[in-house]
Structure 1
Amino acid sequence: MTGTVHEIPESTSPRLYNRDLAPSKRAGRSWSAYSIFTLWANDVHSLGNYAFAIGLFALGLGGWQLLAALAIGAVFLFLLLTLSGFMGEKTGVPFPVMSRISFGIYGAQIPALIRGGVAIAWFGVQTFLASLVLRVALIAVFPGLQPLDEDSILGLSTLGWITFVALWIVQVIIVSYGMEMIRKYEAFAGPIILVTFLALAIWMLAEAGFTISWETANAFTGGEMWAHIFGGAALWIAIYGTFVLNFCDFTRGATSKKAIVRGNFWGIPANMLLFGAIVVTLAGAQYKIDGRIIESPADIVAAIPNTALLVLASLALIVLTIAVNLMANFVAPTYALTNLFPKHLNFRRAALISAVIGLVILPWNLYNSPVVIVYFLGGLGALLGPLFGIIMVDYWIIRKQKVNVPDLYRENATGDYFYRRGFNPRAVWALVISGGLALLVAFLPALSSLADFAWFFGAGFGAIAYFLLADRRRPFVDADGEDIAVATKH
């Protein structure tokens, strides 16, 4: 709010607290079951998820096998996201503050920056992918723009720069209005996405004469089939390794636990099966028509013969990609930077810095570099499992949901989360041990058969390591944050 001065509540530290990091008050929470459902309605139907699922079909999983893999993954995700979501609903704090419980008031920067680092790179990549769709639509409407798409400036054409920057600006404007605007955008985008993909599936089904191929010529059978079903389910869960970690960024605004359960149920198991049915229809119909396996729904959109319909479908995909980017790749680094410099950065300023970083890293070059994607982003991603295991065990098993919320904002040597100079060495060591093991599973050639399950191994290693190392001698206090007032002076 322009022109206001925010007063820091008594006893809280300006190095740990500002309005955006403060615990949300129950009276002001607005994330209903529908809000959470639309969150998943957008994210599940992302172009990246379609490319992944269609890739399983191309690999050799038939229609029912693909649905089975998604269903198994969905059940696990529903449970994991519900447990993670309940933490945000109880405490009202974002992920970087939640991490202070396990890692200490300063040590929390470690998980926050790992999560934010993964997200900020993917923010740029997803914006680039959306710009590709926009370029197709613009050239379809204005063929004279084609020459602008044939040069190269720092790896991107002139038209590419125009579309990328345009979408970049749109996202910056949306996120500058805070989490409430993000909630409204997700609620707006959700129905558009569902209708668009259902329409694409019906259109492709009609093109194929209302029959589809349920499998490719290289379909798996027997034990190999089941290994790929469970491997696909594990990879599906790993894709959401980011969200199961920082889902509290959203559920801190949830109206109730019941809203989280309902939103997750319709958004995860139910919506993921619908997603799977659309994948099988799109991929199976195209394979039936000409024996070709598409890489993404964008391929189908680009082939639509009617220019008006092509533009509408392209716009819907752009709306989708922006929705996914905001929730999956913009919120986490914004909170991470706010947590790093709470005296100087609020949500809006941190969002702008995140966006600028996502631009200057030239994400199209990252996307086109397998080494960067696999080893840098993949390596950071492999650490998300251990972080999840450590935080979940600490909150649910060690502390039994007892959290002293006011102490999360205090630089007090006797505080519950000060540990040793603000760091919990036991959590750090648990992360080092489990993270190292997770990276071995993910990248060691001798363990390549286990690589699909790297997130599970990492989460398990982290949970066990922290359970064995954690200090149980400390009494745990349960105190909510309602006494941390949010005061403004006009």
Structure 2
Amino acid sequence: IWVTYFSALYLNFCDFARYAPDNAALRKGNIWGLPVNLILFSLVAGVTTIAAYDVYHEVLLHPDQISAKFDSWFLAALAALTFAVATLGINVVANFVSPAFDFSNVFPRQIDFKKGGYIAALIALVLYPFAPWEGSAAHFVGIIGATMGPIFGVMMVDYYLIRKSEVDVPALYREDGEFRFQGGWHVNAFIAAGIGAIFSSILPNFTTLLPSWWGVYGWFFGVAIAGAVYYVLRTMALGAGAKMAKA
């Protein structure tokens, strides 16, 4: 579940990496922000849960359940403030930055990052009453995350295996450059991601064709299947293009 929770950030990591002054700073931030922070957070959560059991003789897995047991209004208020700040922080990182940049990139002349953020927040506010994740947040996040796995697989294969970690940056900004693909659509990437999504999220969650454990690792299957399909399709396309160029 941790992988699917962070699956969206795998795709829009560039929204944060773009502000790093160099690779050394980027690596340092990743080390402190991901493994170190995650380990410390997990340790604190474990110690807190164990301590709560010793005090209240109940298994309380959620922080709000523990804070509800406090006799001190000050501690309860402090806990509520902590929850609010933590919720705001994680939502800004995971649910605000990416759509804000997306909207500003689609309409750069009319929408800047700030306006894009307001639009994203408004959409979230409108959708909130429908709350498809209510009561089954883990399952909902798992499906969404597993769907993003194939996209991640396509991106990684394209960058590391096809392009050998080299990108023609000027071509990104040319309408007739290599990134134009088929009329502005990268058909092979869509096909590969679609096939990967079938095996990562659609079949495991909406059919009984695959074993029950498959869905648990849906993200990984999606990455592998979509990546493999994309590699084959892209290699064939590049080979055909090379033959046409020689002819």
Q: TM-score range by the shorter chain?
A: 0.7 to 0.9
- Separation (CA, whole Å) in 1 of partners of 2:213 and 2:169: 43
**How many pairs does the alignment contain?**
237
Correspondence for 2:161: 397
Give the TM-score of the pair, scaled to structure 1: 0.45
Selected match of 2:52 from 258, 278, 286: 286
What is the alpha-carbon distance in structure 2 between the residues aligned to residue 448 and residue 343 of structure 1?
A: 48
Native 8 Å contact 1:389 1:459 kept in 2: yes
Q: Distance in 1 between matches of 2:153 and 2:109?
A: 31
C-alpha distance 283-355 of structure 1, shift in aligned 2 (>3 A): same
Higher relative contact order (Cα pairs below 8 Å, separated by 6+ residues): 1
Output the CA distance in 2 between the equivalents of 1:369 and 1:280. 24
Match of 2:170 among 389, 400, 406: 406
Q: Distance in 2 between matches of 1:459 and 1:264?
A: 21
In structure 2, C-alpha distance between the alignment counterparts of 1:274 and 1:426, rounded to whole Å? 41
- Determine whether 1:310 maps to 2:76: yes
337 and 258 in structure 1: CA distance in 2 versus 1, 3 angstrom threshold: same
2:149 aligns with: 385
Aligned to 2:200: 438
The answer to whether the aligner puts 1:264 opposite 2:30 as a matched pair is: yes
CA offset at residue 281 of structure 1? Answer: 1.1
Q: 1:337 aligns with which of 91, 99, 103?
A: 103
Unpaired segments ≥5 residues, structure 1? 1-234, 476-490
Distance 2:91 2:218 in 1: 24
Specify which of 422, 426, 436 is matched with residue 184 of structure 2: 422
Partners in 1 of 2:180 and 2:101 — Cα distance? Answer: 21
Cα distance in 2, alignment partners of residues 258 and 331 from structure 1: 23
Q: What amino acid does structure 1 have at the position aligned with 2:84?
A: I
Amino acid in the other structure paired with 2:167 = V
State the distance in 2 between where 1:344 and 1:392 align: 32
Q: Provide the alpha-carbon RMSD of the alignment.
A: 2.2
Q: Quick one: which of 271, 275, 300 aligns to 2:66?
A: 300
Residues 430, 365 of structure 1: alpha-carbon distance in 2 compared, 3 angstrom cutoff: closer
Task: Quote the Cα distance in structure 2 between the aligned partners of 1:346 and 1:266.
Answer: 30
Q: Which amino acid aligns with 2:222?
A: G
Provide the rounded CA distance (Å) in 2 between the counterparts of 1:453 and 1:241: 13
Match of 1:451 in 2: 215
Identity score, percent? 34
1:407 and 1:465 mapped to 2: Cα distance? Answer: 25
Q: What is the CA deviation profile of residues 433-469 of structure 1, one whole-angstrom value per residue up to 9, with x for unaligned ones?
A: 1111112234444421122111111111111111111
Matches within 5 A, 1:33-432: 235-363=1-129, 365-368=131-134, 370=136, 374=139, 378-412=142-176, 415-432=177-194
TM-score, with structure 2 as normaliser: 0.86
* Mapped contact 1:398–1:472 kept (Cα < 8 A): no
Cross-structure match for 2:231: 467
Measured after TM superposition, the shift of residue 324 of structure 1 is 0.9
Give the partner amino acid of 2:21. T
For 1:385, the aligned partner's letter is G
Give the Å deviation of 1:294.
1.5
